[in-house]
Amino acid sequence: MGTIHLFRKPQRSFFGKLLREFRLVAADRRSWKILLFGVINLICTGFLLMWCSSTNSIALTAYTYLTIFDLFSLMTCLISYWVTMRKPSPVYSFGFERLEVLAVFASTVLAQLGALFILKESAERFLEQPEIHTGRLLVGTFVALSFNLFTMLSIRNKPFAYVSEAASTSWLQEHVADLSRSLCGIIPGLSSVFLPRMNPFVLIDLAGAFALCITYMLIEINNYFAVDTASAIAIALMTFGTMYPMSVYSGKVLLQTTPPHVIGQLDKLIREAGSVHVRIRRDANEQMVLAHVTNRLYTLVSTLTVQIFKDDWIRPALLSGPVAANVLNFTDHHIIPMPLLKGADDLNPVTSTPAKPSSPPPEFSFNTPGKNVNPVILLNTQTRPYGFGLNHGHTPYSNMLNQGLGVPGIGATQGLRTGFTNIPSRYGTNNRIGQPRP
């Protein structure tokens, strides 16, 4: 085989790599448009920031941050193109699809942090209200609004479109939906525009522009400078409301939670597969079982590994390692090891079995539910004498476990579980030793 350069150290500099990847993306025609918009966005943001400092209006600043958020969303779009082109590398063995999720998360969080900053600034402004010059206020508003809307509507931003669809509704959307429901009672034709829910980005752009228009009006009429601060707070709160559900959604993906829409189906399918695992005999064809299980689950779980243990009447000593008699008749084809790093625990198949129905797969990236599912381990337990197997397997194992738990600083190993986090619910100390087997 020779030497395999599995984990070659990167030799290029950071910028060189960045440039290379950028060239890769720029080769695509679709990304040209995004780049063009990004350049326009930068120019536009520069002008807006200038106007912000000349008008001294914090509401316009809050609105400008939405434009900056647009820039981030364009970047996310580029990243999603790049992700589709990249193959999984040895180090990032799961591929780069999560980068898209991370980009969405980061940009929504950044928008919220900007809003937090606006809140802090406006709290200071309430104490000492500076004078606002309305000269460029309306111009800035309409430049930002038209640019934002133009970007939103002309670029098909796949990740954000998906997140805004899948995340729960923001309070702004809820109110608009509630209002427009009564409006559509009067004019039914509008329901296609407003219901069931509007695009949150379009909504917040419009609402922010509306708040700025009111600000302009009131300052022009009666020099109510405090309106500027109030509408800045309103825009910041709307930003929070819009971004929060999305960052929660993408954060949940990053935390490897089970997507709620999969749970029910998955439970059902696992239960069906579970019925297989009860019935098979010792001499059952494990390839048949494998096929059945895969057939049930592959619609939900894109990467699935099934390991089959065939137990004999005499239970092999699992942990001492030398013999696992009659485990697999190995001939050819694929081996897919799913390794798990040493956490505090290493569970043998006996104890891992009950974990199965209660731990559906986590979501790996958007729209690919349960990419790294925990292995479904099938035991043909019918053929095994229960009490014996349990005792035998159990006693040495718990010793092992205690050793593992005795290690200090277990919590710190969390960061090292990358790429191998395949067995759910086993982090830390909650093992399922004592649970009865099905």
Partner 1 sequence: KKKKKKRKERKFPGSKRGGLTLTKYIVLLCFTKFLKAVGLFESYDLLKAVHIVQFIFILKLGTAFFMVLFQKPFSSGKTITKHQWIKIFKHAVAGCIISLLWFFGLTLCGPLRTLLLFEHSDIVVISLLSVLFTSSGGGPAKTRGAAFFIIAVICLLLFDNDDLMAKMAEHPEGHHDSALTHMLYTAIAFLGVADHKGGVLLLVLALCCKVGFHTASRKLSIDVGGAKRLQALSHLVSVLLLCPWVIVLSVTTESKVESWFSLIMPFATVIFFVMILDFYVDSICSVKMEVSKCARYGSFPIFISALLFGNFWTHPITDQLRAMNKAAHQESTEHVLSGGVVVSAIFFILSANILSSPSKRGQKGTLIGYSPEGTPLYNFMGDAFQHSSQSIPRFIKESLKQILEESDSRQIFYFLCLNLLFTFVELFYGVLTNSLGLISDGFHMLFDCSALVMGLFAALMSRWKATRIFSYGYGRIEILSGFINGLFLIVIAFFVFMESVARLIDPPELDTHMLTPVSVGGLIVNLIGICAFSHAHSHAHGASQGSCHSSDHSHSHHMHGHSDHGHGHSHGSAGGGMNANMRGVFLHVLADTLGSIGVIVSTILIEQFGWFIADPLCSLFIAVLIFLSVVPLIKDACQVLLLRLPPEYEKELHIALEKVLYTWWRAPVVPATWEAEVTGILKDAGVNNLTIQVEKEAYFQHMSGLSTGFHDVLAMTKQMESMKYCKDGTYIM
Residue ranges in 94-113 that form contacts with partner 1 under rule CB under 8 A: 94, 96, 98-99, 102, 106, 109-110, 113
Q: In whole angstroms, how far apart are CA 253 and each of 73, 129, 365?
A: 18, 42, 6
Judged by CB, which is closer to partner 1: 162, or 225?
225
Judged by CB, which is closer to partner 1: 141, or 173?
173
d(CA 159, CA 110): 16
Q: In whole angstroms, how far apart are CA 409 and each of 405, 406, 421, 425?
A: 9, 9, 18, 19
CB of 202 to partner 1, least distance (A): 19
Assess contact for 105 and 254: CB atoms under 8 A: yes
> Which range in 136-144, 199-207, 226-234, 383-391 contacts partner 1 by CB under 8 A?
226-234
CB of 287 to partner 1, least distance (A): 4
Q: What is the DSSP string of 163-230?
A: HHHHSPPPHHHHHHHHHHHHHHHH-GGGHHHHSS---HHHHHHHHHHHHHHHHHHHHHHH--THHHHH
Residues 11-50 that bind partner 1 (CB under 8 A): none
Residues 44-63 that bind partner 1 (CB under 8 A): 53
CB atoms within 10 A of CB 240: 19
The region that residue 370 occupies, defined by phi over 0 for left and psi between -120 and 50 for alpha, beta otherwise, is left
Residues 357-396 that bind partner 1 (CB under 8 A): 358-362, 372, 374-375, 377
Phi, psi dihedral angles at 326 (to 5 degrees): 60, 35
Assess contact for 398 and 433: CB atoms under 8 A: yes
Judged by CB, which is closer to partner 1: 146, or 418?
418
Judged by CB, which is closer to partner 1: 173, or 381?
173
Assess contact for 316 and 393: CB atoms under 8 A: no
**377 SS3 class:** strand
CB of 165 to partner 1, least distance (A): 19
434 binding partner 1? (CB under 8 A) = no
87 binding partner 1? (CB under 8 A) = yes
Judged by CB, which is closer to partner 1: 133, or 342?
342
Residues 116-175 that bind partner 1 (CB under 8 A): 116-117, 120, 123-124, 127-128, 171, 174-175
> Which range in 71-79, 85-93, 159-167, 238-246 contacts partner 1 by CB under 8 A?
85-93
428 binding partner 1? (CB under 8 A) = yes
Judged by CB, which is closer to partner 1: 26, or 324?
324
Out of 6, 186, 187, 193, the residue judged to bind partner 1 by CB under 8 A: 6
Out of 146, 257, 367, 395, the residue judged to bind partner 1 by CB under 8 A: 257
Is the N-terminal amide bond of 260 cis, ω within 30° of 0? no
Residues 293-332 that bind partner 1 (CB under 8 A): 294-295, 298-299, 302-308, 321-332
The 394-423 site mask, x for binding partner 1 (CB under 8 A), equals -------------xxxxxxxxxxxxxxxxx
CB of 192 to partner 1, least distance (A): 21
Please give the size of the binding site for partner 1, defined by CB under 8 A: 133
Q: What is the DSSP string of 55-93?
A: HT-HHHHHHHHHHHHHHHHHHHHHHHHHHHHPPPPSSST
Judged by CB, which is closer to partner 1: 165, or 178?
178
Residues 6+ apart with CB under 8 A from 51: 60, 136, 137, 139, 140
Residues 166-195 that bind partner 1 (CB under 8 A): 171, 174-175, 177-179
Residues 6+ apart with CB under 8 A from 341: 413, 416, 417, 420
> Which range in 34-42, 142-150, 185-193, 247-255 contacts partner 1 by CB under 8 A?
247-255
Supply 122's token pair. Answer: 């406006």
Out of 13, 221, 283, 387, the residue judged to bind partner 1 by CB under 8 A: 221
208 binding partner 1? (CB under 8 A) = no
Supply 280's token pair. Answer: 């098979």
d(CA 412, CA 297): 34
Judged by CB, which is closer to partner 1: 20, or 268?
268
